[in-house]
Amino acid sequence: MSLIKHPQVERLEAHVSEALTKELGEKKLFSVAPFSEEHAEQTGSSDYSYWRSTFRAFRRHWVAMGLLVLLLAILIFTFIQPYLPGQFDPNAIANAENGLPLKNQPADSVHWLGTNSIGQDLWARVWAGTRNSLIIGISVALIEAAIGILVGILWGYVRQLDFLLTELYNILDNIPTTIVLILVSFLLRPGMSTIIFALSITGWIGMARFVRNQVLIIRDRDYNVASRTLGTSTWRIMTRNLLPYLVSVIMLRMALSIPGAIGSEVFITYIGLGLPIEVCSLGNLINEGRKLMMSPNLRYQLIYPTIILSIVTVSFYIIGNAFSDAADPRNHL
Amino acid sequence: MLKYLAKRVARSLLTLFFILTIVFVLVRQMPIEGYFPNFEKMTPSQIENGLHQMGLDQPMTVQLANFYKGLLHGDLGVSRVYNRGKPVWDILKTKIPISIQLGSLSILFSMLVGLPMGIHMAQRKGKLPDHLGTAFIVLIQAVPAAVYYLFIQLYGTELMQIKLRFDPGDWRSWILPVLSLSLGNIAYYAMWIRRYMVDESTKDYVQLARIKGCNGSRIMFRHIFRNAFVPMAQYLPTSFLNTVIGSIYIESLWSIKGMGGLLVDVIHKQDNNMILGIVLLFACVGIIGLILGDVLMVLFDPRISFTKKGGDGA
Amino acid sequence: MGKVILSVRNLHVSFTLRGRELHALRGVDLDVADGESLSIVGESGSGKSVLNKNFIGLLDQNGRITSGEIRYYGMGDKLRHYPGAGVDENGDYIDLAAFKKNEDWLRIRGSEICMIPQDPMTSLNPLKSVGWQISEALMLHRGMKGKMAYEETIRILEDVRIDNPRRRYKQYPHELSGGMRQRVVIAIAIACNPRILICDEPTTALDVTVQAQVLHLLRELKEKYRLTIIFITHDLGVVANVADRVAVMYAGDIVEIGLVDEIFYDPRHPYTWALLSSLPQLGHRGEELYAIQGTPPNLFQEVTGDAFAARNPQALVIDSLQAPPFFDITPTHRAKTWLLDKRAPELSPPEALRKVRELGKTPEGGEAHGGS
């Protein structure tokens, strides 16, 4: 059979839909159609936006969304609570009509969560404690983030530093942070700034490593190589090209370090190196409650602080993980 | 392979040295009341004398050198406050066995429960067991251990009729402490093995195993689990540390006469030498965990890459 | 054509992606004959891999068969109780498209139909020795264990031309080169002793020099083990080297199918013309190389008419309105194009294609066919 001549086999005729035949007529149907180049290109443009897809993925996680709302409500409430009517000072001792302190009262309409063993209003104490613990947690997270990001970016981006910092990391990573916490608290005498300091000096290391790993992955991508060849300064590359991609990792670490910090505070209080008693914190409250926990009717002094502590820590944990999952482009389907 | 191990062991020892030095220096900054049981009653010259006798007025480098010299002879100093005059090591000797028992039981239990749990969760990904397991893991990881230890003690003793006071001879009083201590690691192991198994299951070689005609459980155990288990070795050191830290709290909560409970005591009593000794021992346990982890890695992975931990990009 | 052992009938496959449906296979019809070497050609996204994944039940999680059948013949009584079993003009069959559970596939995968995946670098288990992985296949399908499996593995390693098989048996994948790993994967497939072997672009990830060796090896093994091979590729050179029959796929459908000579020397579908015209060997020095304009259609949207019409400068009006059926040119050659309809004008294929025949004859032209 030759290439160009018509086939020798008789060409068949196929069924063409009646509607078409009626509308255009066979002759027109089988004539050559005009050709348009734009029509040939059918690549739909992708309207993919990273942040929009991230938030959409996060919104689907309804547990995290619910907890986010709850957490925000708690956060706002802890700070406005003292200004609401009918609130007691957390350190003030309430007295009954006979002048004696109202010790260990169960919850009633005046003292919404009852009083503790020296007569202080538990509701006020719980919120004051939450406030302080949150301050500690958030401060630690911010400081860890600031130091960790700075070191991490340098570590990942500047090749000369890599070996030194990696070895340093391997050593520092194995020092038990709790031991450091104990020793530092012991040395510097317990207090808010001591705890924040002690927790931050070990926490930034983990953040630095995460950031460094991300930077390594992104550093040698073509657009960064292009920037470098154009002579862009290292600082500008770090802040403009790298930092936006680190956000999800950073948010996750911060979200997880808050429950960690709160937990460490509870731990250190138990050992006796926590905040002084005048400063209300969840750690102090739980410790006080622990002493009474064996008597069933006084147990509430342990349970109320625990509930709020659990809600706060679990919320941060879940929200942090959900956000990190949502920020991962692989989950943008 | 041996060369690789030697390198890792050397690095671990270097880490140990580093830790010891830092801790030593830190502890030496502690208030000098920690060396004298009746500090308030001593005159300045008595104090000076005492410090000189203990070699505490020397420059730090000399003190460090002395310390290491003593260490090589097994001499950790003498307790000044907690138990007057008794060498630190003698005191610690009696407490170590119980802590080791508690710790090993806990780690074993964690592995026996945590690994199967994680595997089961990976197999039933997205279904009820997975969700329940995840809820458990979230609770354990988010809520501070200090808090759930308390509640286990509280409700456990009531429900199970267990005495609060710990009795090493009675197996029943071991249950709650070991259980409490294990929870953290159970959650840890389960979470990681599940994550690794899910990651492995999307890999190409698993696809080929399916093409070959391997059935579900064969793929799950001979291929996926076996491969996912390899990176788990790097979590061994962390779980050792978790157990050590946890034991500090658990032992004092249950009045168990071990190292952890001792640490809380000596901190309260401000006995500096004891603190130093205990912290040193804990650091050693951590290092042992590190070395064990490295050994396991080498055993499991024929590809051994030399930058698995900390230095790699993933 | 010989005895039909696999028959795809009007197969439709869709994927759910970002909440939308992608209609990846749009009514594919294909018969595979015993002992032949069938090549499926197409560009990325044409659906060739998707089609073949259905033969072993490894479609991605978000994909499913929406209609159609895949009839597999010759199982005899073995699987009569299987879903979708039946009898037709080709004999007893079971319908692979009707399989619901993974367990159903265990009797098919490996022992009946086996696949060689695309990338040998990642297809092997990094923590198991090469020999173990082959022996596993022997154990699963031929019931061999211990020494017997070992000896047979050595024999297969020799068959795939791996030197020093006894030493290689104990080695791990990372100790072997890409070409050797591909041979190991082939060895695993051989060990399963299948009837049909699907090769999913087995040479794409390899160097050109190694490509020729692997193709040669596959031809040898096909003869020796009497396999039926389905070869997926986008490289026409490879096709000419290896195939008896060629099926051209575009946008989720087969647009032309025929013997290899018919497709190369007498193509009828405008897409096949365009594909062949793109061969660099047909270019003239100093002129621009031919490239098909435009891009394949978006399969998230429904396709009306002939999918290739938008990119075809010689398309007829009816091409964008109604999809053409298969027209027979010879008993072995058919194409889905309105150009073969009686009423269509006589259009000749591009000038450049004349050169294909010339290339086929001359020694230099032998290069276009990948060498033999």
The pLDDT tens digits for C254-282 are: 999 999 999 988 888 999 988 888 887 77
**So what's the pLDDT on residue A46?**
64
- Give the gap in angstroms from C-alpha A156 to the nearest C-alpha of chain B: 10
- Taking only the tens place, the pLDDT of each residue in C294-352 is 888 888 888 888 888 888 888 888 888 888 889 888 889 999 988 888 888 877 777 77
Q: Say yes or no for a CB contact (<8 Å) between B279 and A271.
A: no
Q: Note whether B227 contacts C: Cβ–Cβ < 8 A.
A: yes
- Say if B221 falls within a structural domain: yes
What percent of chain A shows pLDDT beyond 70? 89
Confidence of residue B312 (pLDDT cuts 50, 70, 90): very low
A54 pLDDT exceeds 50? yes
The neighbouring-strand residues paired with C39 are C231, C246
Which of these, B208, B148, B154, B206, lies nearest to B180 by C-alpha position? B148
The SS3 of residue C94 is strand
Q: Say yes or no for a CB contact (<8 Å) between B14 and A302.
A: no
Q: Note whether B301 contacts C: Cβ–Cβ < 8 A.
A: yes
Q: Note whether C318 contacts A: Cβ–Cβ < 8 A.
A: yes
What percent of chain A shows pLDDT beyond 90? 11
* Region A71-98 average pLDDT: 81
Chain B residue closest to A166 (CA)?
B311
* Region B111-136 average pLDDT: 91
- Give the gap in angstroms from C-alpha B195 to the nearest C-alpha of chain A: 13
The neighbouring-strand residues paired with C3 are none
A300 pLDDT exceeds 70? yes
The neighbouring-strand residues paired with C64 are C14
Cβ count near B311 (within 10 Å): 17
Q: Say yes or no for a CB contact (<8 Å) between A169 and B143.
A: no
Q: Are B302 and C172 in contact (CB under 8 A)?
A: yes
Is residue B271 left, alpha or beta, with left meaning phi > 0 and alpha meaning psi from -120 to 50? beta
Q: In which domain, by residue range, is B251 found?
A: 89-300
Element (H, E) at C10: strand C4-17
Angle A28-A34-A35 from CA coordinates, rounded to 5°: 145
What percent of chain B shows pLDDT beyond 90? 13
Task: Enumerate the residues of chain B whose CB falls inside 8 A of the CB of residue A264.
Answer: 144
- Taking only the tens place, the pLDDT of each residue in C172-208 is 998 998 889 999 999 999 999 999 999 998 888 788 8
State how far the alpha carbon of A225 is from the alpha carbons of A120, A161, A221, A241, C285, in Å: 63, 19, 6, 11, 36
Confidence of residue C209 (pLDDT cuts 50, 70, 90): confident
Q: Note whether B175 contacts A: Cβ–Cβ < 8 A.
A: no
A257 pLDDT exceeds 80? yes
Task: Enumerate the residues of chain A whose CB falls inside 8 A of the CB of residue C295.
Answer: 40-43
B window 283-312, beta carbon within 8 A of A: 283, 286-287, 290, 309-311
Q: What is the mean pLDDT of chain A?
A: 80
Confidence of residue A42 (pLDDT cuts 50, 70, 90): low
Disruptive mutation site among A6, A12, A23 for chain C (greatest number of C CBs within 10 Å):
A12
Q: Say yes or no for a CB contact (<8 Å) between B212 and C137.
A: yes
Q: Note whether B303 contacts C: Cβ–Cβ < 8 A.
A: yes
Choose among C310, C319, C325: nearest Cβ to A39.
C310
C362 pLDDT exceeds 60? no
Please give the single-letter amino acid code of residue B30. Answer: M
Q: Say yes or no for a CB contact (<8 Å) between A217 and B138.
A: no
**So what's the pLDDT on residue B305?**
47
The SS3 of residue C109 is strand
The neighbouring-strand residues paired with C17 are C20
- Taking only the tens place, the pLDDT of each residue in B65-95 is 777 777 777 676 777 666 777 777 788 888 8
**So what's the pLDDT on residue A327?**
75
Chain A residue closest to C299 (CA)?
A42
- Taking only the tens place, the pLDDT of each residue in C113-166 is 999 988 888 899 988 999 999 999 999 998 888 899 999 999 999 999 999 999
Choose among B209, B211, B227: nearest Cβ to C114.
B211
Cα gap B101→C170, rounded to integer Å: 41
**So what's the pLDDT on residue A79?**
86
- Give the gap in angstroms from C-alpha A279 to the nearest C-alpha of chain B: 20
- Taking only the tens place, the pLDDT of each residue in C224-257 is 999 999 999 888 888 888 899 999 999 999 999 9
Of B36-40, B224-228, B235-239, give the range with the top mean pLDDT. B224-228
**So what's the pLDDT on residue A13?**
72
Q: Say yes or no for a CB contact (<8 Å) between B282 and A186.
A: no
Task: Enumerate the residues of chain C whose CB falls inside 8 A of the CB of residue A44.
Answer: 298, 300
Cα gap A96→A197, rounded to integer Å: 42
Q: Note whether B142 contacts A: Cβ–Cβ < 8 A.
A: yes
Which of these, B58, B57, B77, lies nearest to B67 by C-alpha position? B77
**So what's the pLDDT on residue C371?**
37
Q: What is the CATH number of the domain that holds A89?
A: 1.10.3720.10
Choose among A3, A9, A41: nearest Cβ to C354.
A3
What DSSP designation does A240 have?
I
Q: Which of A323-327, B9-13, B159-163, C335-339 has the lowest mean pLDDT?
A: B159-163
Q: Is the dihedral of CA C270, C272, C278, C280 positive or negative?
A: negative
Q: What is the CATH number of the domain that holds B285?
A: 1.10.3720.10
Confidence of residue A313 (pLDDT cuts 50, 70, 90): very high
Confidence of residue A2 (pLDDT cuts 50, 70, 90): very low
**So what's the pLDDT on residue B306?**
39
**So what's the pLDDT on residue C369?**
40
Domain count, chain A: 1
State how far the alpha carbon of A290 is from the alpha carbons of B128, B153, B245, in Å: 35, 11, 20
**So what's the pLDDT on residue A244?**
61
- Taking only the tens place, the pLDDT of each residue in C69-115 is 999 988 776 766 777 788 888 888 888 888 888 888 888 898 899 99
Cα gap A69→A46, rounded to integer Å: 32
Neighbours of chain A (3+ CB pairs under 8 A): B, C
**So what's the pLDDT on residue B59?**
76
State how far the alpha carbon of A237 is from the alpha carbons of A146, A219, A221, A225, C129, in Å: 18, 9, 12, 10, 45
**So what's the pLDDT on residue B35?**
66
The neighbouring-strand residues paired with A93 are A120
- Give the gap in angstroms from C-alpha C111 to the nearest C-alpha of chain B: 8
* Region A266-295 average pLDDT: 84
Higher confidence at residue A320 or residue B41? A320
**So what's the pLDDT on residue B311?**
32
Q: Note whether B299 contacts C: Cβ–Cβ < 8 A.
A: no
Dihedral angle over CA of C336, C341, C343, C349, nearest 10 = 70
Q: What is the mean pLDDT of chain B?
A: 80
Task: Enumerate the residues of chain B whose CB falls inside 8 A of the CB of residue C185.
Answer: 208
Q: Are A283 and A269 in contact (CB under 8 A)?
A: yes
Q: In which domain, by residue range, is A321 found?
A: 50-94+123-331
| Inter-helix orientation angle A192-219/A243-271, to 10° | 150
Cα gap A301→B279, rounded to integer Å: 34
Residue tagged 């997880």 (tokens): A256
Q: What is the pTM of this model?
A: 0.79
Cα gap A258→A137, rounded to integer Å: 5
- Give the gap in angstroms from C-alpha C265 to the nearest C-alpha of chain A: 6
Cα gap B213→C136, rounded to integer Å: 10
Choose among A169, A290, A314: nearest Cβ to B310.
A169
- Say if B58 falls within a structural domain: no
Chain C residue closest to A26 (CA)?
C343
Which of these, C329, C350, C325, C351, lies nearest to C338 by C-alpha position? C325
Q: Say yes or no for a CB contact (<8 Å) between A35 and C313.
A: yes
State how far the alpha carbon of A323 is from the alpha carbons of A60, A137, A207, in Å: 11, 19, 17
Confidence of residue B209 (pLDDT cuts 50, 70, 90): very high
B96 pLDDT exceeds 80? yes
| Inter-helix orientation angle A243-271/B236-253, to 10° | 30
Interface B:C, Cβ pairs < 8 A: 66
Q: Are C270 and C315 in contact (CB under 8 A)?
A: yes
Confidence of residue A8 (pLDDT cuts 50, 70, 90): low
**So what's the pLDDT on residue C367?**
40
Confidence of residue A242 (pLDDT cuts 50, 70, 90): low
Q: Which of A181-190, B107-116, C181-190, C356-365 has the lowest mean pLDDT?
A: C356-365
Q: Say yes or no for a CB contact (<8 Å) between C110 and B227.
A: no
Q: Say yes or no for a CB contact (<8 Å) between B227 and C125.
A: yes
Per DSSP bridges, beta strands C228-233 and C37-41 are: parallel
**So what's the pLDDT on residue C364?**
43
Which of these, A291, A288, A286, A300, lies nearest to A133 by C-alpha position? A286
The SS3 of residue A104 is coil
Chain C residue closest to A44 (CA)?
C298
- Give the gap in angstroms from C-alpha B293 to the nearest C-alpha of chain C: 18
- Give the gap in angstroms from C-alpha C20 to the nearest C-alpha of chain A: 11
| Inter-helix orientation angle A192-219/A159-172, to 10° | 140
**So what's the pLDDT on residue B13?**
80
Find the farthest-apart pair of alpha carbons in chain A and give their distance in angstroms, rounded: 119
- Give the gap in angstroms from C-alpha B125 to the nearest C-alpha of chain C: 13
State how far the alpha carbon of B59 is from the alpha carbons of A206, B52, B65, in Å: 34, 12, 10
Cβ count near A157 (within 10 Å): 20
Domain count, chain B: 1
- Give the gap in angstroms from C-alpha A318 to the nearest C-alpha of chain B: 7
CB half-sphere exposure, A193, CA atoms < 13 A: 1
Q: Note whether C309 contacts A: Cβ–Cβ < 8 A.
A: yes
Confidence of residue A10 (pLDDT cuts 50, 70, 90): low
Q: Are B213 and C141 in contact (CB under 8 A)?
A: yes
Q: Note whether A45 contacts C: Cβ–Cβ < 8 A.
A: no
- Taking only the tens place, the pLDDT of each residue in B133-162 is 999 999 998 888 888 888 888 888 878 777
B190 pLDDT exceeds 90? yes
- Say if A138 falls within a structural domain: yes
- Say if A284 falls within a structural domain: yes
- Say if B262 falls within a structural domain: yes
A3 pLDDT exceeds 80? no
